[in-house]
Amino acid sequence: MRVELPEVTLDVEVSGEGPTVLLVHGFPDSHHLWRHQVPALTSAGFRCVAPTLRGFGASDRPEGGPEAYHPAKHVGDLLELLARLDVDRFHLVGHDWGSGVAQGLAHAVTDRVRSLSLLSVGHLTANLEAGWEQRQRSWYVLLFQLAGVAEDWLARNDFARLREMLAEHPDAESVIEPLRAPGALTAALNIYRAGLPPEVLFGADRPAPPLPEAVPVLGVWSTGDRFLTERSMSRTGEHVAGDWRYERVEDAGHWLQLDRPEKVNELLLSFLKEN
């Protein structure tokens, strides 16, 4: 369904009855990323709300440059979406950039968040403190800052280099297809340009606040993740003020919910039911 919000219209999947679980995808995905989780969660008595963020998939791509895609904009969209759906309290699940957006949402409306599940991407400070190996794995973040250059490099030769980056993505071709539309690749990259500029990556230390004490947090990292070290997730617990649980998923890449859906569903359901 399409949900019209004050600034954008989002493509959203809503299904099930019960406590709400808000599922937030990352780059370069859409709500389709959660297709294996939604049936398991709804069968277990949860209501799933899975939006496609602005700038991705079939959702709107507003004009205005990178600032139109700042993570705070996504947080605002999600709050508006929850209001439209009459959702008060909810569980949060985020993957990749969706994890960062979910953390922002947990800070914004702490009293409404039942639990926070972070897949692949942990707390920003844990990532920045994860050492040289993590910086090497994050090389592409600097490339993505180069407007025009990054788009040309990724899209050249029928998106050959983006295909290399998404080599482990089970949905690589279907994810790339929407990025062919005019302005779509730039819109998708703008979340990096607004949310992780060089000043954040390499500037003076400015530790992000710990995740709120009132929100229990689950962190899940997969052993085959090419982009993120285990330390960046496992040490997220040092930046959680309340309850923290860490889990590893073996034999899965960055898109663990597609590679090992049964395991991810098991972890999510056990955590959600506890909270």
For 83-109, how does the pLDDT look when each residue is reduced to its tens digit (9 = 90+)?
A: 999 999 999 999 999 999 999 999 999
pLDDT at 173: 96
pLDDT at 136: 93
Residue 206 has pLDDT above 80, yes or no: no
Sheet with 20-24, strands from edge to edge, namely 2-4, 9-15, 47-51, 20-24, 90-95, 113-119, 217-222, 244-249
Residue 208 has pLDDT above 90, yes or no: no
Q: Say which residue the tokens 């996504």 belong to.
A: 74
- Cα 203 to Cα 69, 182, 207, distances in angstroms: 21, 33, 11
Residue 207 has pLDDT above 90, yes or no: no
Position 38, amino acid: V
pLDDT at 50: 98
**pLDDT tens track for 212-249:** 999 999 999 999 999 999 999 999 999 999 999 999 99
Could you tell me where the beta strands, DSSP code E, fall in 70-212?
A: 90-95, 113-119
Going by C-alpha positions, the residue among 274, 267, 273 that lies closest to residue 37 is 267
Residue 205 has pLDDT above 90, yes or no: no
Query: Is residue 100 within 8 Å of residue 123, measured between CB atoms?
Result: no
